[in-house]
Every structure is written in C-alpha cells, then in structure tokens.
Chain A
C-alpha cells in the first residue's frame, strides 16, 4: 500500500478538518443569509403593499363565501354523503389557496426579473438556489398567514370540523406540500421566461388542474366529461384525502401525499433546470 502523500496528510490533519468544517459552515450560513434576506424582502414588500397581499387573502375568502354560501343547497342532494357543505368547500378552498399561494410568489419572481433585481441578486449570491429558496420560504409564510385567516373566518361563520387535531395537522401538511409543489412550478416557469408578462403560463395550467377536480360535488355525483377527467386528475386524490381528513375519516391519505410529494419532487428538478437556464441567460 502506498504511503499517503503530503497533501493527503495535510487534509487529514485536525487543523485541515477544522478549516474544512469552518468553510462548510460559512457556506451554509451564507446560503441561509441570502435565503433569509430574499424571504424577508418579499414578506416586507407584501406587508407594506396591501395590493400584493390582499388578492391572495381575498380570493380564498371570496371563493369560500361564493361556493359554500351560494351552493349550500347542493349539500342536500341525494348521494351527497359528506357531513357538511361548508367543510366540503373549505378543504377545496384551502388547497386552492395553497396552490395559488405558490403562484403569487411567481408574480414576485417575474416582477423582480422585470426590474432587474433578481439578476443583481444572482450576481451577489454564491449559490443562486438560495435566491429561489428565499422566495420559497416567503411562499410558505404567506400561505400559512392566509390559512390562519381563512380558517378563523370559516370557523367563526359556523363551519363544523369533524376531524381530530391529528387529522387537521395532516390536512395542513398536505396543503403545505401542495404549496411547495406549486411554488417550484411557478419558479420553474418564471426562471425560464423571466418576465411578469408570462404570468398566464403559470396560472392557466394550475387553474385547469384545480377546476377539473371534484369542486362542487363528490366524484360519485359528477356527470359528463368532467367525471372522466377528475378520475385521472392527481389533484382529485389530494382534494378527496383532504376532505376525508376534515371529516375525521382518513381515506387514501398516503396516496394523496405521494401524489403531491412526487409532483413536488419533479417540480424541484423543473425549477432547478430553470435556474440553470436563467444563469446561462445572464
């Protein structure tokens, strides 16, 4: 066996190991510093400019009011076996707000590309994925804020929760995975197109997926083409599992988490490749 060289001996020495650990720790701390700064800036802007935060807050509330209030008679149809129409609609609205929460951050990324801010940020950051991570943190914080408000209003206006605390944690966890998946989708689109004008390219596919799930009635009451589409739409599994958790009767929860998490994993790759394209574009 060959004797280790001088370089290898130096690298194996306690001093070199300490130095390497310090470098890794520095890199990690710089990464989080960039991510934290981007997240803080985005949250700060959203708080200071209600026009940025209000749509993500008002739309779920409005949809909840319009669907749960306007269509409550539908809850009495024969074959509609869910315990409460408000809760039935609330789960959809919660998951919809999770998905659109990710897209709203996509608007911020697009606007920052338009103003040249993202390019400057990328020049300054050693690891550019920290910039995307920062936007991601902001997406989650903003979504949680929206859910607290929507949940509070739904409970205050008489929505009944049949699930236990653990079921609700599961529901919120599912919404979080959806939020993260939608965020990576939005980031992937925006890092490729790099302008706010490309917003419809984020919104439309998501809108199609959300709206072709069983929104108004359970799947057994769907008729026509939407019944066939809902069967193969992965968002159907997520909505149905969410509703089962809300009802305290978990059903296909693992399938829903698997659908959401595998979607998120694919979209991480999508957004990572988008970031590489943005870097290459300069």
Chain B
C-alpha cells in the first residue's frame, strides 16, 4: 500500500486530490452552469439560424441540428481549459500549492487529481448535450454503441484541453492569465470546420486554416458518430489528435510543475 514509510501510494494520493477536485467542482455552480448553458444556447441559435445551409449541394445531412451537435461538445471541452487552469492557479495563489509541496505528494498524482473535476464536468456536459440534441430531434447514426464512443471521445478531448489549462495555470500561476486563454481557444473553434464541412468552405484561406487546425479533426470525429455512423478515419484522427494534445500538454504541465516546485 505504501511506497515508502508514511508515504501513501500514488493511487491513494491521486484519489484524495481527485475527491477534492470533484467536491470543489460541485460546490461552484459558476464552474458547472456556464459550460452547460452557453454551448446549448449557441447550438440553438446556430441550428436554427444556419438551417438553410443544408440546401448547399453535397451537404452531408438534411438536419443542421445534427451537424451542429458536435459544436457544444467541443465548446464544452474548451471550458475545461479554464476550469483546470483556474483551479490550479487559485491553489498557487492561495498558498495551498505551497503547503502541498511540503508533503510527500507526487507530481503526477496532483495532475491526475486536478483533471478529475474536469472529467466530471465533461461527463455532465456530454450527457446534457446528447440529451438536448436527441430531444430537439437529432438522431445518432452510430446507435447506442456510438453514444458510448461519443462520450469517450468527448472526455478524451476534455482531458486534453484540461491538460492545456493545467500547463497554463502552473506556468503562470495566475487565474487571469488562464482566463486570457479562453478567447484563443474560442478562435481555434471558430476557425475550424465547425460550421461547414471543410470541402464546402469556399474561401481558400479559411479552408487552409481549418485543415491545419487540430480542432477540425476533433469536431469531425465527434460529428462522424452523429451524422455518418462509423467512419474509422474520422474517429482515428479524432482520438489521435486528442491523445497527441493530451500527451504534449501533460508533458508540458509536468515540466511546469517541476519548475514551480523548485521555485517553491
């Protein structure tokens, strides 16, 4: 059970911090409500305001609601950056991190623990978005199993963006700086294939930007399960890009954590 005399195992450490992260998240409605409400509001506006776009030749579905349903999943994941980054920056700001540094707590368990609250919100979001989409008339072409894969991809994306937030929070130690990331993430979302399929974007520069923007592949992976069924390429790209972002961001967060502990 113990790694060294008096030092709890990594799993136990992570469990304590994960529990703290979950409780902290539940106690802050301001952290839960906007990531649920704001994406649904935008979905309602876009699905209705852009429904005429389904008349574009070769548009992949007759329902813009189904096409746009991937958008809130992605937007909700972007909120994960803020949640994870702000939480750890607050821990640094209020001295909790310094007190933690005096204990034998390991770095990886701290990071895993902090991400747990983000994954909890991610699960709530995925359930709410899917339920709202289905209630509004969208259907899931990949069926019940597809819903599970949709949840898995959505949580992978939330973890990836949460890790970016952890890196930003640890690097800057400022929740204001983390908040400053939000517009940047939002820009990435809007400069992707979120509103139209890439092959139907007539503006060359925008199509190029959307093609090199990793968010396009994440959103296309989510969308494929909703409007196409099982598209192995889209799913592989979606999971692959999410995993790549997660690995790189977690590596950067681990380094930032090490630097922060040295400074502490």
Contacts and interface: CB of A to CB of B under 8 A. Distances in A.
26 contacts: A51-B180, A59-B183, A62-B190, A65-B191, A69-B205, A70-B194, A70-B206, A70-B210, A71-B196, A72-B202, A72-B203, A73-B53, A73-B196, A74-B52, A76-B56, A77-B52, A77-B56, A78-B55, A79-B52, A215-B49, A221-B52, A223-B52, A224-B47, A225-B48, A226-B45, A226-B48
Interface in B186-224: 187, 190-191, 194-196, 200-203, 205-206, 209-210
A225 B46 CA distance: 11
Interface residues of B, number: 29
Contact of B200 (A55, A73, A211, A216): A73
A62 B187 contact: yes
A63 B190 CA distance: 8
Nearest to A220: B52
Nearest to A69: B206
B51 interface: yes
A83 B50 CA distance: 19
B203 A214 contact: no
A51 B180 CA distance: 9
Interface of B: 41-42, 44-45, 47-53, 55-56, 180, 183, 187, 190-191, 194-196, 200-203, 205-206, 209-210
B70 to A, nearest CB: 15
Interface string A194-225: 00000000000000100110111100011111
A226 B49 contact: yes
Nearest to A229: B48
Contacts of A16: none
Interface string A41-68: 0000000000100010011001101101
A226 B46 CA distance: 9
Nearest to B65: A224
A217 B45 CA distance: 12
Q: Do most interface residues of chain B lie in helix, strand or loop, or is the interface mixed?
A: helix
Nearest to A217: B52
- Interface of chain A: mostly helix, strand, loop or mixed: helix
A227 interface: yes
A127 B44 CA distance: 46
A63 B55 CA distance: 24
B203 A217 contact: no
Contacts of A216: 49-50, 53
B55 A66 contact: no
B191 A70 contact: yes
A216 B42 CA distance: 13
Contacts of A223: 48, 51-52
Interface centre among B180, B187, B210 (most CB of A within 10 A): B187
Given A62-B190, A211-B45, A216-B49, A70 B56 contact: no
B51 A224 contact: yes
Interface in A146-182: none
Contacts of A215: 45, 49
A223 B53 CA distance: 11
Contacts of B200: 73
Contacts of A224: 47-48, 51
Nearest to A86: B203
Question: Which of A62, A66, A208 has the largest number of chain B CB atoms within 10 A?
Answer: A66
Contact of B195 (A70, A78, A211): A70
Nearest to B200: A73
A62 B42 CA distance: 17
Interface string A122-154: 000000000000000000000000000000000
A239 to B, nearest CB: 13
A225 B196 CA distance: 21
A62 B185 CA distance: 12
A205 to B, nearest CB: 13
Contact of B55 (A71, A77, A208): A77
Contacts of B191: 65-66, 70
A122 B206 CA distance: 49
A139 to B, nearest CB: 21
Contacts of A71: 50, 53, 195-196
B208 to A, nearest CB: 10
Given A66-B191, A70-B191, A73-B201, A55 B183 contact: yes
